Structure 1
Amino acid sequence: MTDDDRIEPGEDDAALAFAALQAEVATLRQAVEALPAIVEGATRATDYTPTLGAVVKVLTQVEARIVAIQDHPALKMTPEQHGRAIGRAGADAFADAARVMRDEADALKRERMHLAGIVDGAVTRQAQRRRQLWFGVSGCVIGATAVLMINLIR
């Protein structure tokens, strides 16, 4: 041990203790003075107004879509009603197709009858021409024969 360790407690120890206490109080004062800035930084509220505004806007749009979906009549129907609706739609589609086919068949029948009339008219004209030719040739032959017969008789 050194001579300083053997010094009896006294005035010097009290002065050292007081100096240590003074240093500790100074450190504590600095910490307390810095505390409001730290607390203010930690407790400062973040402004979420723009973010919340965007979220509210999107939620409003989603709500409108959900209400539109919720009010759709298809969601209020039972599976049996859906089945009947699908069957009815199929029958209507088939009826429409059958009507179109019937209309087309009628149009085709009218065209066929029109063409048959044209062909019959052409056949009739051809037969008339043939008859006229036969009557003309027959008349010429009969006339020539009659002229010859009259000339022979004279």
Structure 2
Amino acid sequence: MTSDDGSERGESDAALAFAALQAQVASLRQAVEALPAIVEGATRVTDYTPTLGAVVKVLTQVEARIVAIQDHPAMKMTPEQHGRAMGRAGAEAFAEAARVMRDEADALKRERMHLAGIVDGAVTRQVQRRRQLWFGVSGLVAGSIVVLLIK
């Protein structure tokens, strides 16, 4: 019995080991069959053409701007020339502001003279009215005295 049990047990261990080996081989087969798809996915080259095209387009625009800045006359000037140009611009702006102030002062002076003429005219009319009233009253008084003396 021992030998039967041992041989039966040995056969069952062998069968279990064989079944386990079959499972491992099946698993290994599935992994090997999936390997080409995994390798193809890993080695597939990404197409960067649209992205690179956009980068090139932006770089071209930046280059055009840099060339425009580089070609600007201000970039060719020395710091001393910049300082003189800024001084001239400041002097011109100040001269323009002074001219505008003079023009406004002249306009204000003309308005003041015009208003003085209007006020003088009103005062002159008022003085004329007083003189007319004075001469009228004086004439009336003188006429009354003459009438009284004649009677």
| TM-score w.r.t. length of structure 1 | 0.69
Q: Tell me by how many angstroms 1:39 deviates.
A: 8.2
Cα distance in 2, alignment partners of residues 41 and 139 from structure 1 = 129
Code of the residue aligned with 1:136 in structure 2: it is G
| Corresponding position of 2:89 | 89
Partners of 2:86 and 2:68 lie apart in 1 by 22
1:130 aligns with 2:136: no
For normalisation by structure 2, the TM-score amounts to 0.70
The residue identity in structure 1 corresponding to 2:54 is A
CA-CA distance at 1:55 after TM superposition? 1.4
Percent identity of equivalent pairs: 87
- For residues 4-153 of structure 1, the aligned pairs below 5 Å read 44-151=44-151
Cα 1:42–1:133 change in 2 (3 A) is: closer
RMSD over aligned Cα atoms: 2.2
Cα distance per residue 1:12-49 (max 9 Å; x no partner) = xxxxxxxxxxxxxxxxxxxxxx9xx5987776544221
Counterpart-to-counterpart distance in 1, 2:137 and 2:72: 87
In structure 2, stretches of 5+ residues that fail to align are: 1-32
Runs (4 or more) in structure 1 with deviation over 3 Å come to 37-46
Structure having the higher helix fraction is 2
Letter in 1 for 2:141: V
User: C-alpha distance in 1, partners of 2:70/2:56?
Assistant: 20
What displacement does 1:54 show? Answer: 1.4
CA distance in 1, matches of 2:115, 2:145: 44
Unaligned runs of 5+ in 1: 1-33
